[in-house]
Amino acid sequence: MKKVTIIGVGLIGGSLAIALREKGLAETIVGVEVSPQNAQKALQLGLIDKIEQLPDAILESELVVITTPVDTTPLLAIKTLNLLKDNNQTGTVVMDMGSTKAELCSVIEHHPLRGRFVASHPMWGTEHSGPQSAVSGAFEGRVAVICDRELSDDNALELVEELYAHLSMKMLYMSAEEQDLHTAYVSHISHITSFALALTVLEKEREEDHILDLAGGGFESTVRLAKSSAKMWVPIFLENKYNVLDVLRENIHQLQIIRRLIERDDAEGLIAAIEKANKIGKILNKS
């Protein structure tokens, strides 16, 4: 591609820019960034070739990628599609890489250029944020979820599929609603649990030195996600509110079961619960 535009040059957008450059998939990478600090950092790191604002940033762009917080994505998608319509850029493809899809897909459903949009979610991220956190090889071996593919034009879908294939990703196809449901169970609840554990320890363990001295690998790995950006995760929780609340109710239910087993000194019940939980390892270890 001669020109790719990335709207939001943070962890995801920056890592995508690195991959595009390393694999020779784009001659020019243009960034759109509301944060002057992030824009400057992205330029300093060589993630992008230049910073531009809309609509100039998408002129003659073959691919526009939206990687902003999910609460801003629907209106940005509409704005971008409108600009393409006004500029008669009906060959340009627009895609997003956000964690929630139902609201986005609902908002753009009846847009005359809906076919030029591909809703996607690469299942990768870290607890870090900003362009300085972008890394090489971020998406390799991961799954890329593509939602409502039947609503995207064939050539738009093909471009995005080829992009993810070049990034060594496996494609998985779902409806927007299915994606939001399953992501709540395998991703969003992990962050909520991590935030809750961190808050629990901070509330109960007043001595910071004790946390540092006694924290083992298990604790560190469990609370790693608690370092994630609130600006990123609050919109995700609220955009996917009903699925998140559903999984949260089940999570609380399981905690209550374990609590009752401990209260009753029910060793056999605890063994059964833990051995049942151990089955997740077999699932995750499948190649």
Residue 20: the pLDDT is 98
Of the candidates 142, 144, 146, 127, the one whose C-alpha atom is nearest the C-alpha of residue 220 is 127
Cα–Cα distance between 21 and 5 in angstroms, integer?
Answer: 13
Residue 217's pLDDT band (cuts 50, 70, 90) = low
Query: For residue 73, is pLDDT > 80?
Result: yes
* pLDDT of the residue at 281: 85
Q: What is the DSSP letter of 187?
A: I
Alpha-carbon span 47 to 21, nearest angstrom: 8
CB-CB contact of 174 with 145 (8 Å): yes
pLDDT tens digit string along 170-205? Answer: 999 999 999 999 999 989 999 999 999 889 888 776
Looking at the chain, the whole-number percentage of residues with pLDDT higher than 90 is 85
Task: Output the DSSP codes for 97-160.
Answer: --S--HHHHHHHTT-TTGGGEEEEEES---S--SGGG--TTTTTT-EEEEE-GGGS-HHHHHHH
Cα(first)–Cα(last) distance of the chain, in Å? 33
Q: Which CATH class name applies to 179-284? A: mainly alpha
Structure tokens at 201: 């320890």
Residue 282 has pLDDT above 90, yes or no: no
With the CA atoms of 42, 44, 46 and 51 taken in that order, what torsion angle do they form, in degrees rounded to the nearest 10?
A: 50
Q: What is the distance between the alpha carbons of residues 244 and 127, in angstroms, rounded to a whole number?
A: 19
pLDDT digits (tens, 9 = 90+) for 89-107: 999 999 999 999 999 999 9
Q: According to CATH, where is 3.40.50.720 located in the chain?
A: 3-175
Which residue is listed with tokens 């056999």? 268
**Sole residue written with tokens 């619960």:** 273
Kindly tell me if the per-residue pLDDT of 221 is higher than 80: no
| Residues 6+ positions from 14 with CB-CB distance below 8 Å | 42, 45, 47, 130, 131, 133, 134
Residue 57 — pLDDT band, cuts 50, 70, 90? very high
Does residue 186 sit in helix, strand or coil?
A: helix
CB 7 within 8 A of CB 63: no
Place of tokens 């910071």: 208
Sign of the Cα torsion 194, 198, 199, 201 reads: positive
CATH code 1.10.3660.10 region(s) in the chain? 179-284
Q: Tell me what the mean pLDDT of segment 113-120 comes to.
A: 98
How far is Cα 256 from Cα 253, in angstroms, rounded to an integer? 5
pLDDT at 205: 66
- Distance between CA atoms of residues 223 and 190, nearest Å: 10
Q: Which pLDDT does position 163 carry in this prediction?
A: 98
Bridge partner list, 4: 29, 63
CATH value of 3-175 in 3.40.50.300, 3.40.50.720, 1.10.10.10, 3.30.310.50? 3.40.50.720
Q: Compute the mean pLDDT over every residue in the chain, rounded to the nearest whole number.
A: 93
Highest mean predicted confidence (pLDDT) among 122-126, 217-221, 262-266:
262-266
Determine the pLDDT at residue 215.
60
Under 8 Å between Cβ of 47 and 65: no
Collapsing DSSP states into helix, strand and coil, what is residue 9?
Answer: coil
pLDDT digits (tens, 9 = 90+) for 18-31: 999 999 999 999 99
| Dihedral pair phi/psi, residue 28, rounded to 5° | -130, 130
